Amino acid sequence: MERNEAINILAEGRGGAVSVVTMQSVYPWHQAGQGETLHIDASQCMGSASSIGLGLAAARPDKKVMVLDGDGSLLMQLGSLVTIAGQSPENFYHFVFANSLHQSTGNQQLPGAGRFDWTALAKGAGYADALRVEAAEDLIERLPRIWAMRGPVLIELVIEREDREPLWAGVPMAKQTALLKEQLAAS
């Protein structure tokens, strides 16, 4: 599936979840109108989206938290899977955009690409569940069931390679943090 297809499906099915988005999913998430409410970009701290999401999930167990992570980013801080599983946030949904590339730095292939399994890694780390989605139609069909699952859940989204220059939304993280804090306090 294409990244934008997955982004649009997740945007439509977000249902008020807090979103934490990193690297090459940031710009399309903003283009889908999702960057202003209950949201923070994790684009200046590659590999930290899942840790930021864990903090939000722990602080607000009444809200679903969705992390839109890149496989290259997650690979940089793979230990976060064990930390997340150890905290067992039932409201944590970890969507990993898997294209086997470090797309933000020039489409270099990930170390070990094709030799590891994100769902097996998540389950082995102790996630409550993990699944792989390869087609947009499958994501549309499965998303309501995913939101009904008890987290933490990792959802590997198999996406196509994009041969283009990296895109950045350019929104300062400090501004987003202040806005998100305000929005969470009001809800």
Which residue ranges make up each domain of the chain?
Answer: 3-186
Per residue in 103-160, pLDDT tens? 555 555 666 667 779 899 999 999 999 999 999 999 999 999 999 999 999 999 998 7
Using an 8 Å Cβ cutoff, are 70 and 97 in contact?
yes
112 CB neighbour count, 10 Å cutoff: 9
Separation CA 87–CA 11 (nearest Å): 26
Per residue in 82-104, pLDDT tens? 999 999 999 999 999 888 655 55
| Domain 3-186 architecture | 3-Layer(aba) Sandwich (3.40)
More confident residue, 94 or 76: 94
Residue 30, CA atoms < 13 Å, CB-side half-sphere:
15
More confident residue, 186 or 46: 186
Per residue in 11-38, pLDDT tens? 999 999 999 998 777 888 999 999 889 9
Rounded to two decimals, what is the model's pTM? 0.84
- Predicted local confidence at residue 130, as pLDDT: 98
Separation CA 185–CA 187 (nearest Å): 6
More confident residue, 164 or 142: 142
- Predicted local confidence at residue 47, as pLDDT: 72
**H helix or E strand, kind and range, residue 180:** helix 173-186
Pull the structure tokens for residue 96: 């990993």
